[in-house]
Amino acid sequence: MSDPVPLTTDHPGQVASATPPEPGWSRRLSDRWLTVAFISPALLLLLAMSVFPLLWALYLSFTDYSATRGGSAHFVWFENYTAILTSAQVHLRAFTTLIYVVGAVTLQTVLGFTIAYLISRRTHGRGLLTTLFLVPMMLSPVVVGLFWRFMLDAQFGVINSMLGSIGLGQVEWLTRQQTALISLIVVDTWQWTPFIMLIALAGLTAVPKYLYEAASIDRASEWFRFRTITLPLVWPLLLIAVLFRAIEAFRLFELVYILTSGGPGVSTETLSFHVYKVAFLGFNTGTASAYGILMVLIVIVLTQLYLRYLNKLKED
Amino acid sequence: MAVSVDEAASTGPVRDRTPRARRFGGRGRSVLEVALLTVLAVVMLFPVLWMIETSIKENRDVYAIPAKFFDFKVTLDHFKDVFFSSGGGRSSLSVSFLNSVVVAGISTVLATVLGVPAAWAYSRFAVKAKKDQLFFILSTRFMPPVVVVIPIFLMYRQLGLIDTKLGLILIYTAFNVPFTIWMMKGFVDEVPAEYEDAAMLDGYTRLQAFRRFTLPLLLPGIAATAVFALIFSWNEFVFAIFLTSGDSVRTAPPAIAGLIGGTTVDWGLVAAASVVFALPVLVFAYLVRKHLIAGVTLGAVRR
Amino acid sequence: MRYPKRIGRLSVPGRKVQLATAAMLVATTVAACGGGQDGASAPKAPATIPELTKDPLTLSFIWFEWPPAQALEAFANAEYTKERPNVTIKVNTVPNANWHDAIFTQFAAHKTDFDIPILDSQHIGEAVTNGNILDITDFVKQNIDVNAYNPYLLAAYGQFPQAETGKRDENASLYGLPLLGDTWTMIYRKDLIGDKPPQTWDEMIAAAAKCQADNPGVSGLAFHQANGSDAAAVTYNTVNGVYGGNLWDPKSRKIEGVLNDAAGQEAMDVLVNKMKPLTATGSGNWFIDEVNAAVAQGKACIAFNWIAASGGLLDPKQSTLGTTREEILGKLGFATLPSQKTNLVPLGGMGMHVSAYSSEANQAEALNFMKWFQQADIQKKWAAAGGVPSRTDALESPEFLNAGPFNKVYADSVPRMRDMWNVPEYARLVDIENTNVNAALNGAKTPKDALNDIAKEQQAVLDSSGSKGGGGL
């Protein structure tokens, strides 16, 4: 904490000096009551807006319901699930998503950590630097997508213009299979590197100084200190940051929608984008629900495995 | 998710590293590091600068090949177009900005009002299966919006909430409550419960003790949390595009996205609209910059 | 200062409680969703227009964001209010990419904030099958002079099931009336390839190739290649038509073997191997606005675009071709599409329909508006205001022909038009075609594979109606 709460020991004194009020109606509220009164509104909202819809989707995933065709839903049980799991179309999107998630998260972790490390070694202007680096993260994905589409335009985009001025030819950033996926990864990395940077920076600045001092007395090499002091202490935080980014990247939709709309062909269609097409082009609500449930399941299972690995790492 | 890193990172007061850097870094290495940092900063900030530049260029300069970096005529026409339609009167973009203010503002207030007391209760009292409840709360935040939007759509259809601001406000609130609870719980944990106990010994009720003594100490944390919630609601696109379609309801992100895909694309206008749209978020983020680092790490990592 | 030392345990909360809640909620849900209407069909509009309200009323349209939408709102508010002063016209617009979704999600909600949806002609099937728009057959019989139109135009924007190309089935039901006619025009640089437009597709390609070779920095062709909306699909369909191919056999609902027959393969080959090499680098995601930009920036010899979207080309503010409209017109020519084995051109444009979920007063007003809009003098005024009318007399009127250089192109193209499949599965069919043609154009698939994949996947969509599970993948 960067002491957001200016706590000092003299507060209790101030507290005691205030005049206690007349006992009001609220005295009768027990702690138990308070707990229920304070927690239940939030929980009820979540039940209504998150749990209920998810259960509804779960029910629909076993049916052939279509939101536009009307008519009642017929149970098809696991037919939607088997169709999705065996569909080559889905496998293709899963593979695309995998490359994208791994590529983007790796790149932004390396970059984010590097920037954080460099910033943490500076004495002056750290606040300003951090703030400047944070700007991309604050922008709406829509703005980010539109703008990069403009910059990556093969004909009049500024990127190709700069490449041209150093003698390189035009690159088709958004209309070739490989470059389109790379472009998505680059744009996502541009926006979310600051996130990793923030968390890494927090970890780096929390490394106790005395450890370095002890190491410097031992005349340990810079790399040795980085490897044995800095990294082990920042590593757990970094791994959690990676988890967060991976989950976010897994559900990526906006960038694809705006930057490539899945093209060329379907080569940059992610799972999220495919769900959208199933749900809103043909209004195959049942199939789309099953697809979505499977995505949620994947997130939960992979997260569990990852966390278990983290816990093991910590125990060692 | 339910990972906790207790007493996680502190971003603490900036510690002076100069002696170490000097002793072991050496001047050459320091220069190299500054150079690398500068390059990275330029790369990261270039798109933002280019966006600002495009917003003040005339359209013929926008399309110029090779790109014009410095020598172009400055115009504020695009910014005028953001707010006023060509025939005079308000532009539909400015209406969407107002909608965004209403939707993001109200949903942030709601999430704060619901989330802060819950966070306090979770922090102070013994709640059955507290960890499970907290994990459950956070997990609702991690569902892909494209998946959630399908059942939400069906539900809103029954309730008549499709294409209404209320519908958007509700879903944004629901997405921000988990975050608010988690982030605020961290802040509440920082305030020793003993303060309230002492106050109660003096005759205050628990609620009064919370209001009088804990809440004021939480205000900076609440501000930081609210900023994050605000940023989410302000920038959100998926729910907005699938749950609304009318001009009078549409928020800014779908409105800005709608600027392309007509018969001509006015990139200057897109850039100006983006700048105007990003400005409030950046200002807010800057105002609570001290808590921002704490915010992201706490909200994300800590419990 | 403390550093991270513990990473928490992750657990799944209260499983039993959740399961119980789940069971309950599912039961509720089943009850809640069961009430949909079975075997939906379009409700009928009254044959005569019911009495109209005297109270202030807002008649809402929904369209996508483009100049004709603003033109319609301005035109209707200026003219219609002369007859109905208590009515205000509002044309809501959504991004083009979101057009179908925005309308059909509201239809799905059984509550619309519009009274007159402006549908792409191929969306009629989906809307009719779901009962989203009114059957206006009787209304048309009573109120509209059907002989004033080219029968195919009336059929294309209103009839379902779909009419045979060029004809109208007088016994079929009508669900809409034309609002804005449209087709592709060929835009060519008179200063680069000469005043006379190429007459055949081969000539056109040769002229483009020569022009590209003679003028460095200018590409031979510019056309729609994007994988969104119906961009790449219309492009292929156009070439397919010109080379004598067929999209499907509507009677036997066969696509496999029809679309990818020899003519279809030749069309794909022409598109990918002869036309694509003449386009600009990175034009593989171009749609209307990018093609317009290329023309306006003087970067294309020959371009293809929708007529209704071409108005901006004559605006000196957006063009580098000249500082006045006349100067630009000295360089840009507009012509009907070249022909090859046939002279077919793509049918574009949209019709007006009446939402089944509007209030009765608004539905009555909508019908009245449609009747008003289809009068001869109003159609001429619409033409003068920049719209494209459908009545033959309006199409032949000087008001229309003089309003824009491309209007004659439209009038000449009317008898040559062909539409896509107008079936409830349209959105899926066009997406399959779009993505595959786009893949072929950008080297992600061979032309042959792409065409065969289109045929196979589209056939599967047509055949799958009625099969269990996994629809829409």
| Per-residue pLDDT at A40 | 94
pLDDT at A21: 53
**Window C:279-298, CB contacts with B under 8 Å:** 287-290, 292-293, 296-297
Cα gap A5→B190, rounded to integer Å: 7
Give the pLDDT confidence of C118-136 residue by residue, as tens digits: 999 999 999 999 999 999 9
Quick one: residue A283, left, alpha or beta (phi over 0 = left, psi -120 to 50 = alpha)?
Answer: left
Provide mean pLDDT across the span C338-350.
95
How much of chain C is in helix, strand and coil states, percent to nearest 5? 50, 15, 35
- Dihedrals φ, ψ of A228, to 5°? -100, -20
Per-residue pLDDT at C280: 94
Asked if C26 lies within 8 A of A287 by C-beta distance, the reply is no
**Each residue's pLDDT tens digit, B222-281:** 988 898 889 889 999 999 998 988 888 999 999 998 888 777 788 999 999 999 999 998
Q: Is the pLDDT of residue B42 over 90?
A: yes
CB atoms within 10 A of CB B109: 15
Residue A260 has a pLDDT of 92
For residue B285, the SS3 value is helix
- Nearest Cα neighbor of C44 from C178, C179, C173 is C173
Q: Is A21 exposed, middle or buried, given 0-12, 13-18 or 19+ CB atoms closer than 10 A?
A: middle
Interface test with C, best of B264, B267, B298 (most C CBs within 10 A): B264
* Interior/surface letters C285-301, b for 16+ CB within 10 angstroms, e for the rest: bbbbbbbbbbbbbbbbb
Question: How does pLDDT run across B53-95, given as a tens digit for each residue?
Answer: 999 998 878 887 778 888 888 999 999 999 988 777 788 899 9
Taking 80 as the threshold, does the pLDDT of residue A218 lie above it?
Answer: no
Alpha-carbon span A249 to A302, nearest angstrom: 14
Q: For residues A256 and A264, is the Cβ–Cβ distance under 8 A? A: no
Tokens read off for C457: 């996947």
| Helical segments of chain A, H only | 11-17, 31-46, 52-60, 79-86, 88-120, 126-138, 141-152, 158-165, 177-205, 209-217, 222-225, 231-250, 254-255, 271-280, 285-315
Q: Pick from B195, B205, B220: which is nearest to A27 by CB?
A: B205
DSSP type of residue C38: S
Cβ distance of C21 and A51 shorter than 8 Å: yes
B296 touches chain A (CB under 8 A): yes
Residues 319-338 (C) with a CB less than 8 A from some CB of B: 320
ipTM of the predicted structure?
0.85
CB pairs under 8 A between A and C: 204
Q: Which residues of A touch C107 (CB under 8 A)?
A: 68
Residue of C nearest to A239 (CA): C7
Q: Look at A55 and C10 and tell me if their CB atoms are within 8 Å.
A: no
Phi-psi region of A3 (alpha: psi -120 to 50; beta: other; left: phi over 0): left
Average pLDDT over residues C443-454: 96
Are C358 and C132 a contacting pair, CB within 8 Å? Answer: no
State yes or no: pLDDT of C383 exceeds 80: yes
Contact (Cβ atoms closer than 8 angstroms) between residue C304 and residue C289? no
The CATH H-level superfamily of C183-346+421-464 is: Periplasmic binding protein-like II (3.40.190.10)
Mutate which of C16, C73, C88, C113 to test chain B, going by most B C-beta atoms within 10 A? C113
Per-residue burial over B69-88, b = 16 or more CB atoms within 10 Å of its CB, e = otherwise: eeebeeeeebbebbeeeeee
Contact residues, chain A, for C6 at CB < 8 Å: 314
Q: Which chains does chain A touch, 3 or more C-beta pairs < 8 A?
A: B, C
Please state, in angstroms and as integers, the Cα–Cα distance from residue C323 to each residue in B62, C316, C327, C330, following that order: 18, 5, 7, 11
Query: Domains of chain B: which residue ranges?
Result: 92-301
pLDDT mean over C99-110: 87
Domain at C57-182+348-418, CATH homologous superfamily: Periplasmic binding protein-like II (3.40.190.10)
> How far is Cα A264 from Cα A260, in angstroms, rounded to an integer?
7
| Closest residue, chain B, to C107 (C-alpha) | B157
C-beta atoms of A282 and C445 within 8 A: no
Q: Note whether residue A234 is domain-resident.
A: yes
Instruction: Name the DSSP letter for residue B88.
Output: S
Res C27: pLDDT: 42
> Within 10 Å of residue A77's Cβ, how many Cβ atoms?
12
Contacting chains of B (3 CB pairs or more, <8 Å) are A, C
Cβ proximity of A197 and A116 under 8 Å: yes
**pLDDT tens, residue by residue, A102-146:** 999 999 999 999 999 999 888 787 878 888 898 998 899 999 999
Check residue A231 and give its pLDDT.
Answer: 84
Distance CA A305, CA B219 (A): 37
The whole-number pLDDT of residue B234 equals: 95
- Measure A131 CA to nearest chain C CA, in Å: 23
Span C353-363, pLDDT tens digits = 999 999 999 99
Q: Which residues of A49-65 are buried (b: 16+ CB within 10 A; e: fewer)?
A: bbbbbbbbbbbbbbbbb
C96 contacts on A by Cβ (under 8 Å) = none
CATH 3.40.190.10 residue window(s) in chain C: 57-182+348-418, 183-346+421-464
3-class DSSP assignment, residue B164: coil
With CA atoms as reference, report the closest residue to A206 among B181, B18, B6, B227.
B6
C132-144 burial, b at 16+ Cβ within 10 Å, e below that, comes to bbbbbbebbeebb
The domain in which residue A223 lies consists of 88-315
The pLDDT tens digits for B108-156 are 999 999 999 999 999 988 888 888 888 788 777 777 888 889 899 889 9
* Residue in C closest to B238 by C-alpha: C98
Please tell me the total count of domains within chain A.
Answer: 1
For C152-166, what is each residue's pLDDT tens digit?
A: 999 999 999 888 888
CA–CA min distance A3, chain C (Å): 11
**What CATH number does the domain containing A124 carry?**
1.10.3720.10
- d(CA A68, CA C126) in angstroms, rounded, equals 9
For B92-301, CATH number out of 3.40.50.1100, 3.30.1600.10, 1.10.3720.10, 3.20.20.70 equals 1.10.3720.10
3-state class of C280 per DSSP? coil
Q: How far is B201 from chain C (nearest CA, A)?
A: 32
pLDDT for position A24 = 52
pLDDT at C213 > cutoff 50: yes
> Mean pLDDT across chain C, nearest whole number?
88
Residue A4 has pLDDT above 90, yes or no: no
On whether residue A157 sits in a domain, the answer given is yes
Nearest CA to A229 out of A239, A240, A218, A245 is that of: A218
Token output for B259: 């600027």
* Residue from B259, B263, B265, B298 to probe the interface with C (highest C Cβ count within 10 Å): B263
